[in-house]
Amino acid sequence: MEPFSSSEEREQKTEAPVVHKRHGRVAAFTFMLLTLFSGFIGGLFAPRAEQYLSVYFPVLEQEKGAEKQSATMVFTEENVVADLVAKNSPGVVSIVISKDVPKVRSNGNPFGFPFFSPFNAPERSTETEKQRVGSGSGFFVSNDGLIVTNKHVVVDEQAEYTVILADGSEHVAAVLARDPSNDIAVIKIDGADFPSLSLGDSDTIRVGETIIAIGNPLGEFENSVSRGIVSGLKRNLQAGNGRGDSEQLSDIIQVDAAINPGNSGGPLFSLDGKVVGVNVAMAQDATSIGFALPVNQVKRIVEQVRTTGKISFPYMGVRSMTLNDALKKKTNLPFNYGALVVRGDTVTDFAVVPGSPADKAGIVENDIILEINGEKVDEKHGLIFYMGKHNVGEEVTVKLWHKGETKEVKVKLEERQS
């Protein structure tokens, strides 16, 4: 039996699906047209949209890249610093200064009172005992035990110096040389196969560059590491040791890494792991202001000691005073810079030493030495400074004011005899 009772009903039932299929084809066709049209429009405007986004929304992508790059740089630099310290710390040493000092005995206080009383007044003895009186830092520059430090660390000729290595071993040190024109000294311990450090080129460092200092701050925290940047170059200052001694330091490096008492003589590293300076001083009543001698001032000294066992000091053989504005006015001279050649207080204090390099070059009393090899002689860069830049046997060009005229002479430097 058929499911419908009449032909009319059957016709109606069979026509409905046909109408539905027709609408489906129309919808599908319409969808296809819209898709093609959208693709066509998108193809036309996509380059414009990309250009629009690149102009108005580049910051998000740049910020993402900058954050990623910054994180990578920080991570990389931290690894570089850690690796540098691990590699070079064994080449850094602590220096202990010991000296015989009078014993101080106390009579004791039977009552245990904390305040002063006749019972606990100290009594100075005629006996002496060896005590630790100071400390500093240094670093190996040769495998056979040559060590660079500051002159002010080992300036006391009556003291004894002990070098403590990173492994805790102690070695008696001998002072080989103290440079009179720079705060540099070279000492030596016996032995072999010591971990020497590589010396870099201090002329290539730049302000803002990261540097690392390693030393023995306060004489208690050996192989301590501090990190900072180069804050300034070619600084000049008068440095004192607190005992009345002072020295003019020229062309030195300013850093913001922590430099404390006891750091003196320790190395200053660039990130390539080479020594670019020797830590020498800190500013009083200030924070994050430290100073280091450029390593290029040290290389000549190290090479001399390595080859001859001593420092040879070149000299010209003149006694002089450095001119400035006040002396120019007082002496009525035409220059406020230069070294005026003058005699001393006694008849034997010659202005020009007989037979000296200056004497051979024709320099006489009242001449003014204006320049050495084209560089001006002034209060910041005196004759001693320029002598420290040259070796015995070198010839320098001296510009001077001689009897009212300016001229140049050649002076061959000789070794100063102490």
What is the distance between the alpha carbons of residues 412 and 357, in angstroms, rounded to a whole number?
6
Residue pointed to by tokens 């000049």: 236
What is the distance between the alpha carbons of residues 230 and 250, in angstroms, rounded to a whole number?
16
Task: Give the tokens for residue 228.
Answer: 């900072």
DSSP string, 8-65: HHHHHHHHHHHHHHHHHHHHHHHHHHHHHHHHHHHHHHHHHHHHHHHHHSHHHHHHHH
Q: Catalytic residues, which ones?
A: 152, 183, 264
What is the distance between the alpha carbons of residues 171 and 156, in angstroms, rounded to a whole number?
18
Type of residue numbered 160? E
Residue closest to 150 by CA, chosen among 258, 278, 253, 242: 278
Instruction: Give phi and psi for 33, each to the nearest 5.
Output: -65, -45
Q: What is the pLDDT along the chain (418 residues), one digit of tens a residue?
A: 444 444 444 444 444 444 444 445 555 555 565 555 555 555 555 555 555 444 444 544 555 555 555 555 555 777 888 999 999 999 999 999 998 877 765 555 444 444 444 445 556 566 778 788 888 999 999 999 999 999 999 999 899 999 999 999 999 999 999 987 789 999 999 999 999 999 999 999 999 999 999 998 877 788 889 999 999 998 887 766 555 556 778 889 999 988 888 888 999 999 999 999 999 988 877 778 999 999 998 998 898 888 888 888 888 999 999 999 998 888 889 999 999 999 988 878 899 999 999 999 999 999 999 999 999 999 888 888 888 788 889 999 999 999 999 999 999 999 887 5
